[in-house]
Structures are given as C-alpha cells and as structure tokens.
Amino acid sequence: MDIKNNQGIWITGDGVAELRPVPLAKMGPYDLLIETKACGVCAWDAKLYHGQSAPGAFPYIIGHEGVGIVRETGALVTKFKAGDKVFCSSGGNEMMVQYFMQNENCAAKIPDDTVDYGAMVLEPTVCVVNLLEKAGIRPGDHVALVGAGYMGLITLQGLVRGSWAGKISTFEIVPERLELARQLSPKNTHDPYSKEGEAYIKQLEAEGGVDVVIEFASTDSGFELANRLIRKTGGTLVLGSWHRDKVTFDGTLWHMSGVNVLNLSPMSNRHYTDLIPRTGVLAERGIYTPGDYLTHTARFDDIKEVNRVLDISGTKADGYIKGAILF
C-alpha cells in the first residue's frame, strides 16, 4: 500500500485528463481509507471532462462512483473493518484516485468474493432506488419509462423485478437499447417514432394517460413525450435526467392537471444514505445487475484510454452505455 505516491485522474483542460499525484486528507473518526478498484463514469463526469458544471477552474479531480477495499478505519467507525469490500454513494466527487477517504455512512458492503469490481458500481443504482421509492408506485399502477439508456435500463430492472407496477410501458429510439429494454420487458416496449409506437402513444392518451411516468431521455422530444403520457388527474412525473441542463415546460399542464413532479436527486431525500446499504442488499438478491450494461472500461494508468472513455461517455459513440475506470 503506497499511499504516499497516491495517483489520480485530473481534468486539466477542456477534454484533457492527466495522471497526477493526489494528497490524502487526514483521516477523520468516521472515515474509511479505501483502495480504489473501480470508479464509474457518470454523465456528469462527461460534462466535467469538458469543463461544464465544474467545481472551479482547471485542474480538478472527478469521480463519485467508487468501489474498492477498506484499508484503514477511523477511530469511531463501527460498520466496517479493514479488508471489507465496499461501494460508495455520495460523500465526495474525487474518487478516480488510487486511494480516497469516505465517511462510513456513504458506503456499503459488497460480497467478499467480488472480483469484478466494475459490475459493483452501484452509486447510480442507489439513485434509481431513491427514484422508485419517491415515485410511490401503488399496486397495479401503470408506469411508463421514457428513455432506456443506462439509468433507464437500471430503472427498468427495478420496475420489472422489484416493484408493484401492474403494467410497464417503455419508449426508446436507439435500436440496441430498445432491444435491451425488450429483453427485460417484452410487452409494450416501442420506438415512439415507429408506426406501432405512435399508435400506442395515442391509445394511452385516449385512455387518460399513465399513472407514473419516469423520464430518462434527456432530450426535448423525450420530455415532451413524458408530459403527453401523464395521467391528467394527479399523475406523477419523475425527472431522472434533467440535472445539468436547462429545460422548458408548460406549467399550465402541470398545474391544471395536478401533476406531481419529482426529482431523483440525492439531495431531495434527507434519508438518502439509508438507501445505500439497502441497495447493496437488492443487488445481492439480483434485482439490480448494473454490470450487464458496462460497455467501456480503461485502466487508470492508461491515460490515452482514460481520455477515450471519458470522451465517448459524452458522445455515446461506439455503442456506449456505461463506462468505468479500473484500478
């Protein structure tokens, strides 16, 4: 364990990542020192790679989807011991480093026999669990998912394998992602621009709309479709993707229809950290298997590949769904 030579990925300019030393902060009483084994690439990281929504001027470290092994614990830590394998959620945005500190409340154990650490990047899944809990899906509700990218597919796993939804409708325009959605939920899964998809949307509108609509398209057209689908008397719209961009909407629709609008943000739930170990349990049960959609990886010390993965995470080229940096 060579903490003194701790290295991490720094964003040093627009579209430029470099490997540089990272000093470690002093360990607090509730902190864990974690040796990183993998760190997921978030959609936010794709923007940070280009200086958007940045914490400040270049350079800065990125990464908040860390997975690794606890090497030391603070004096008052009670939930973990050295050697425990963990994933992290919340608690910091500087995890694309060989070692980092994390408060014990922002980590949860993963199986001791884990060897595929990329498959244990569960931070985004905690956000999905938060989203589905807040959505308040009642037994038999009709739930529509707009957008089956990475977060949408993880949400679909939760809807199909662990929710009270009575009917699930899914809309996705990318053929490869549409096929992945159909593998989870064969019925009522459509390209909204296909003849069948357009007819199905009109049918749902004629029936009065859908009880809960979860929007993960992150496009104006997807957002418009989500608003079309909502049941016009107290339906629920959950915004999963609009968190780093501007979006416009017709407030009349939301107000006059009594639409409930929810946000998946961890900051919207004061009990968010309670969901971190619960998500680990759900993953162990097989309800969530986010590793199914990990398409691109790079070793942290192969900086050329790191730059390639970070760039593709923004362009979504080469069949990209989810990336991770491996340590």
CB 227 within 8 A of CB 255: no
Q: What is residue 3's predicted lDDT score, i.e. its pLDDT?
A: 86
Based on its alpha-carbon atoms, the radius of gyration of the chain, rounded to whole angstroms, reads 20
Which pLDDT score is estimated for 273?
A: 97
Q: One-letter amino acid identity for 102?
A: Q
| Structural domains of the chain ordered from first start | 3-121+294-326 (3.90.180.10), 126-268 (3.40.50.720)
Tokens of residue 96, six digits: 């694309």
CA dihedral 291, 181, 162, 212 (to 10 degrees): 130
- Alpha helix ranges (H) inside 258-302: 275-285
Q: Which of 322, 265, 225 is nearest to 131 (CA)?
A: 265
Q: How far apart are CA 235 and CA 204, in angstroms?
A: 13
Cis peptide before 21 (omega within 30 of 0): no
pLDDT at residue 250 in the model = 80
Residues 257, 232 contacting (CB under 8 angstroms): yes
C-beta of residue 189 within 8 angstroms of C-beta of residue 169: yes
Judged by phi (left if over 0) then psi (alpha if -120 to 50, else beta), residue 319 lies in left
Per-residue pLDDT at 78: 96
Give, in order, the Cα–Cα distances in Å from 122 to each of 28, 118, 172, 220, 310.
Answer: 24, 9, 23, 28, 19
pLDDT per residue as tens, the chain (327 positions): 778 899 999 999 999 999 999 999 899 999 999 999 999 999 999 999 999 999 999 999 999 999 999 999 999 999 999 999 999 998 899 999 999 999 999 999 999 999 999 999 999 999 999 999 999 999 999 999 999 999 999 999 999 999 999 999 999 999 999 999 999 999 999 999 999 999 999 999 999 999 999 999 989 999 999 999 999 889 999 999 877 777 788 888 888 889 999 998 888 899 999 999 999 999 999 999 999 999 999 999 999 999 999 999 999 999 999 999 999
* SS3 assignment, position 303: helix
Please report the pLDDT score of residue 91 as a whole number. 87
